[in-house]
A and B are shown apart, each in its own frame.
Chain A
Amino acid sequence: MSLEIIESCVNCYACEPLCPNDAIYQASPHFLIDPDKCTECLGDFDHAQCASICPIEGAIVDELGVALNLPGSLTGISAEMLAKYQAAVEAAYQAALDAKAG
């Protein structure tokens, strides 16, 4: 059994020093978990340490690919709000492109 860090990781280092098994290591493009070392913290802590400090919902998943931190659970930002965010980012990007085109 092992947890996995996926591509939404922002490389903030927060999880790395917490792992009781030293299973987390810096890699490109993002941190990774050595599946041979990870125990999901069983026997050491009640909750997997990496997932307990990770600020990015969905960045750490279990063997079945299920996120330990579900959308909205850490930030309070719902899927609806996230869609609004993406629209705002795209609008800002488009405005920058338009301004550049003059």
Chain B
Amino acid sequence: MTAARTPYGVGIGWRPEIAGFVAGLPGLRFAEVVAESVPDDGELPAGLDDLLGRGVAVVPHGVRLSLGGAEPVQPERIDHLARAAARLHAPLVSEHIAFVRAAGVEAGHLLPLPRTWEAIDAVVANVRRTRERLPVPLALEPIAAIFDWPDDELDEGAFLTEILERTDALLLLDVANVYANAVNRGTDPAALLDEIPLERVAYVHVAGGAEHDGVYHDTHTDAVPRAVLDLVTQLCERHRPPALMLERDGAYPPAAALRAELDAIAAASGFVAVT
């Protein structure tokens, strides 16, 4: 737990496409890697070794556990996450509060849960099973709600708080998600920040998006909008998390633009620039 609370500052999502850029960030102390890209054995993806050698904390980020599924989470998938954490000497791992398969059918996407007491029970049971097999703390990331289920019994803040308190898990907060959900519902993005336990935030995703036909899409392939950076500032004024990272998944811009985004996150959060 204490390891997860060491302040790391501004980090970045490590992707093979920009491995050379990440390697060239002199002040970097935090990075996240997709857990599924870390093999159980054999060589680590080129460049990750060097980051670890420099003392950069690298956190595996899972997408395939399906913690929100009605059926118990598959032990071999937890073991893969645990193995990735061990290979990277990671201080923690993260996964989504979502389901990706049901009754053996793979959705191929992270799907949102209905915010019901029954769904909470299922998530809590799966998070307990997962934590039993993990050597390090687990941070949970709520996903973007593309839609609200008609039979929701709790609002987002209460739903999240209930899960975190019953599982004693950490929170991976995606401010771009928070922003997208609020904008698309017409509510205040900062309101959620007052409803969830911010002291549980292990780290924060900051991503870009774009608006099409009045709907804000959390694309991870566009620039980070000013409004999302403002939300970072509002979050850090309440409780500054140990790490915030730029999450970029494609349409990578020139290095100067990526550096400017990292610097903007540093400025918005009050951390030192890593570029």
**B and A form one assembly:** no
